[in-house]
Structure 1
Amino acid sequence: MSEPILGLRERKRLETHRALATTAVRLVAERGLDQVTVEDISAAAGVSPRTFFNYFASKEDAVVIAHADTAEQSRRIIEKFLATPKEVSAPRALIDALKEEIVHIDENREEWLGRMKAIHENPTLHSRAVAMNHDTIAPTIEAIAQRVGVDSKADLYPTLLLSALGGAVNAALLLWYQHDGRMSALDLLDEAVEMLLAGLPEPGGRAR
């Protein structure tokens, strides 16, 4: 599916959001969350605090929300998932739809290492990150149910699949973070998904 063509104003909005987000992550990684203010982030990004609040409600949001079009990205992932040919299994189709987001993490290693460090060290950021993802859960479950032809309120599969694949993503990114981003996040995710699809065999019984 092709990316939407953006006008100059929309591109500027996305660029300003990204500048503020990356600046917030860098400053928090350098100083710690409590030692960084909205004014610090705004000054380093070359905008006013008033402009900052046009994009974020708080400094915590600036650290956690990497993109201004997060909701649109989630919609595109669901559309890509539903458009994948039926011969591809639902788990593989959903992971394939997510891969662009994981590639972005690999391509922006320092930013994401800083973001994950901040989230791990600050419970308030962790709670905000969890809350931010909440709105994507129900639509994704419904998309899975639609693809496999079941009622999400009567069948366990859609919710279980999303939970399992979400766990695979989290496990892959945690190991990526623990190795300082020196391993490919995309390769780790592929490995995690293959383990799940193979029935999660214990390490001693897996082929090397």
Structure 2
Amino acid sequence: MLKVGLTGGIGAGKSEVSRLLAGFGAVLVDADRIAREVVEPGTPGLRAVVEEFGPDILDGEGALDRPALGAVVFADPERLAALNAIVHPLVRARSAELEGAADPGAVVVHDVPLLTENGLAPLYDLVVVVDASPATQLDRLVRLRGMTEQDARSRMAAQATREQRLAVADLVIDNDGPLDELEPQVRALWSRLTARAAEG
């Protein structure tokens, strides 16, 4: 089994790369999706978040109101750390379960937005960074995700710098250009990963 850590700054296109890799046959362990699952209504994770942040972070249906929680944690590093202390152990446990269920010869891609920030690079056989310039990230967040420029900049500032991410990379996917330039790079990456997995 080849364990790959996939990361990239917000708006860099990491999700598109993970989607393509899954299409080629990778076993995808998506930390963001798992992070949503572990705080769904009725979970111990959601109860712990409400205990920490109060009932104002719930919507009318009793589910997590992500924008309300985001407004609290992205403006305050201490509150963000408190949230991470609840969610990250739950995500790690579920990720380990999914990885354990994969075929021994599989390429397991862990899609981890905060890989660099949390010092997780040593957990993987290879780290792949999806890279885009801060200007490209900002443009995509405002134009494609409808964020305000201020909100986009604060989300970017809460993450590792481009230089910090590149410092932990074994392989880099350049996603500064249009989407049609991405697929051939990911196909080439998949060839390298499968060859490496076959070596054992």
- Normalized against structure 1, the TM-score is what? 0.31
| Higher alpha-carbon Rg | 1
Ranked by relative contact order (alpha carbons within 8 Å, sequence separation 6 or more), the top structure is 2
Structure in which a larger fraction of residues adopt helix: 1
- Normalized against structure 2, the TM-score is what? 0.31
Structure in which a larger fraction of residues adopt strand: 2
